[in-house]
Amino acid sequence: MALNFSKKYKIIALATYFFTGNLVLKIAVGIVFGILLAIAWPAGAKSAILLGDLFVQALKAVAPILVFVLVASALANQKTGYDAKLRPIVVLYLVGTFSAAFLAVLMSMMFPTTLLLSAGDLAMNSPQGIGEVLNNLLFKIVDNPFSALINANFIGILVWGIAIGLTMRHAGESSRQILLDFSQAITTVVKLVIQLAPIGIFGLVAGNLAEFGFSVLQSYARILMVLLGSMLIMALVINPLIVFVQTGKYPFGIIFTALRESAITAFFTRSSAANIPVNMAVCERLKLDPNTYAVSIPLGATINMGGAAITITVLTLAAAQTLQIQVDFVTALLLSIVAALSACGASGVAGGSLLLIPLACGLFGIPNEIAMQVVAVGFVISILQDSAETALNSSTDVVFTAAVCGASDSD
């Protein structure tokens, strides 16, 4: 009987630690076990990806309603005269995205890269110009609220959340309290889902390594070096500089906190939308004002796209260098602007940043057939490129929000 009691106690203690222990440490353990499983039992590892897919789907399922309810509740219960500090955050988002694009130009010129292109083509629809990207964004804004929730149209969700929140400020106290209680209930559900991250990431690591490995990336090592190097410099040099200019304080507390608690999950889920609940939880642990991050985090998932700007710029210039097209400084600056604007609209285009490459290639007169081959290269290296891009995009949302909210000394 004592033995049975001891076993039950151990099970209870293990379950308690699973839901209350250090999440980053548990994720690290999940990554290690995923790698070991992929090496020791590849067949079983491929099946384990089901756990990862379920985790990502759970995050994607809860993210739309979370964004809508939190934004509406934050605005409805906002105190009169309160400054949500959204304007400086939006400015940092735009400055960061343009800086990333310009950094990618400099890196591409320092490390010129060519691609192996063939006569093939891809049956994909890419936007034909900035006008089409902006047109898509405008229609996303006026989307039906139920359609926006069902299709995870975060631009539309954000607009409807703001509209409902502002109008509910004139509602009775009891009505606003109901909205607040509902937001707290959804937040509790999200916390439970996030606690499953170690299991989900274990499945993602094991399944992806067993299916793809890294051998497929060897022939694209140089372009990956430029891409990942640019994203690393953005995360560890440019972002800290922006934070220092904004706060005048030591910036690496925010940087390392965001990389540790946001970038890791974003790297493996490869979805900014799925990482919105994770970022909300990070902001809560940093004790940031919920009236600010309830709006800034979903907004950042829409317009703060430094990683996407780097991808568009580097692959476009690689195509130009392959075709021996000379790029002067003025054209490079124009490319940075186009890449930054395109990246901000990436969430409204199927396929994300990669399908915006033909748009940027149009600046150099590169035929669409060639540009779509560059897109194909992007899909080959997306095993690392898309993961790193999402990690940079998503963690920067936390960095800039924390910088404006005065949490630069967090770690």
In a domain, 6, yes or no: no
Residue 264 tokens read as 């890791």
Q: Which residues of the chain have pLDDT under 50?
A: 1-3, 81-82, 119-124, 348-351, 408-411
- Compute the distance between CA of residue 133 and CA of residue 148 in angstroms, rounded to an integer: 18
| Distance (Å) of CA 24 to CA 28, 126, 196, 202, 257 | 6, 38, 12, 13, 11
- Compute the distance between CA of residue 98 and CA of residue 247 in angstroms, rounded to an integer: 20
- Compute the distance between CA of residue 373 and CA of residue 122 in angstroms, rounded to an integer: 7
- Compute the distance between CA of residue 69 and CA of residue 60 in angstroms, rounded to an integer: 15
For residue 108, the number of C-alpha atoms closer than 13 Å in the C-beta half-sphere is 31
pLDDT tens for 367-404 read 877 887 888 788 778 778 888 999 999 999 999 999 99
pLDDT on residue 38? 87
| Distance (Å) of CA 269 to CA 199, 200, 233, 264 | 12, 9, 22, 9
Helix/strand/coil percentages in the chain, nearest 5: 80, 0, 20
In a domain, 5, yes or no: no
Q: H helices of 21-85, where?
A: 23-40, 42-76
Q: Scanning the structure block, which residue is given the tokens 């993602």?
A: 204
In a domain, 243, yes or no: yes
- Compute the distance between CA of residue 122 and CA of residue 372 in angstroms, rounded to an integer: 6
In a domain, 357, yes or no: yes
In a domain, 190, yes or no: yes
| Distance (Å) of CA 252 to CA 153, 239, 299 | 33, 9, 23
In a domain, 13, yes or no: no
| Count of domains observed in the chain | 1
Please, are residues 90 and 401 in contact by the beta-carbon 8 Å criterion?
no
- Compute the distance between CA of residue 153 and CA of residue 157 in angstroms, rounded to an integer: 6
- Could you tell me the residue range of the domain that residue 392 belongs to? 23-404
Q: Scanning the structure block, which residue is given the tokens 């063939």?
A: 118
Mean of pLDDT over the chain: 81
Q: H helices of 111-144, where?
A: 130-141
CA 224 to chain centre: 19
pLDDT tens for 239-291 read 999 999 999 899 999 999 999 999 998 998 887 878 888 999 999 999 898 88
pLDDT on residue 131? 64
In a domain, 343, yes or no: yes
Q: The domain spanning residue 361 has which CATH number?
A: 1.10.3860.10
Q: What angle do CA 388, 393, 395 make, to 5 degrees?
A: 90
Residue 181 tokens read as 């209680």
For residue 138, the number of C-alpha atoms closer than 13 Å in the C-beta half-sphere is 6
Q: What angle do CA 242, 246, 252 make, to 5 degrees?
A: 60
